[in-house]
Amino acid sequence: MAAMDIVKTEKLASRADEIPEQAIISSITAAVSEQRLPAGTKLGEQMLSDIFKCNRANVRRALSTLATMHVVQLRPNRGAFVSTPSPKEACDVFEARRTIERTLARSVIKNICLQDISDMRDTIAAEANARAQGDKPAELRLSRAFHMHLATIADNQVLERFLSELTLRTTLIIGLYNKVGSSSCAEDEHLGIVEAIEERDEERLLLLIDRHLNHLEAGLNFQHSAEPFFTLAEQLASTAD
């Protein structure tokens, strides 16, 4: 491992006061959500143990939790890998997202306040700034944050947990079946959603959410598959910068 990698991974391993399992889960989900950790990447137990300065039992527990979130696949006699969604699974994920986000949207209309509107507009502006600067990880992170903010406003913790998992899986799908580094959400689509919420226009809001998710799904090319470009340490270490 290069000296720079060691420095970065030491920073990563010292993540505040998180227990080892949670540090591993947090870092892997963050890397997936920013398309730094592509589908199919092998997650070696010994490498993760070295990076996070913990024993392999901690690593196995973390990977088991990530498997229940469908972020990781555990393959007998082969180890753990970042999940590689099939085309059928990709379509199912988008169908589930449409159903859940439409349900959440109805509650958002009822619960929305002026501060929520302001916060969402701030997220959209930050997302646009990240896009303009070519900061793809930040753009993807903010795009997901926008959708999760809507779930928080809806105040349904069960659906919020489902959506958290589905948005991670969507990022994997887009990274796998779109061009490498492709954008996940269009700025004007997010703005339209906020405007519909602000106007309490439920019919328009549901239409825009459907259109938005349909647009993302239509951009998938199941003949395309991205390949990992960096080592596992490099992919995870960006969280420490």
Phi, psi of 21 (to 5 degrees): -60, -45
For position 237, what pLDDT does the model report?
A: 60
User: Are 140 and 128 within one domain?
Assistant: yes
For position 221, what pLDDT does the model report?
A: 87
Rg of the chain's alpha carbons, rounded to an integer?
18
User: Are 170 and 107 within one domain?
Assistant: yes
User: Are 27 and 79 within one domain?
Assistant: yes
Q: Is the dihedral of CA 108, 112, 116, 118 positive or negative?
A: positive
Quote the DSSP letter at residue 185: S
* In contact, 31 and 239? CB cutoff 8 Å: yes
How many angstroms separate the CA atoms of 200 and 196, rounded? 6
Structural domain boundaries enclosing 110: 87-218
For position 1, what pLDDT does the model report?
A: 33
User: Are 133 and 189 within one domain?
Assistant: yes
Element (H, E) at 79: strand 79-82
Return the closest-CA partner of residue 25 out of 43, 46, 7.
43
pTM: 0.81
For position 240, what pLDDT does the model report?
A: 41
Phi, psi of 65 (to 5 degrees): -65, -45
Quote the DSSP letter at residue 43: E
Give 10-residue mean pLDDT values along the chain (241 residues): 34 55 93 90 92 93 95 92 94 97 97 96 94 91 95 97 95 82 66 96 97 92 62 56 43
User: Are 100 and 148 within one domain?
Assistant: yes
Instruction: Enumerate residues 6+ apart whose C-beta is below 8 A from 130.
Output: 136, 138, 139, 142
How many angstroms separate the CA atoms of 14 and 226, rounded? 31
Element (H, E) at 73: strand 72-75
Which CATH number characterizes residue 235's domain?
1.10.10.10
For position 77, what pLDDT does the model report?
A: 87
For position 229, what pLDDT does the model report?
A: 47
Domain count within the chain: 2
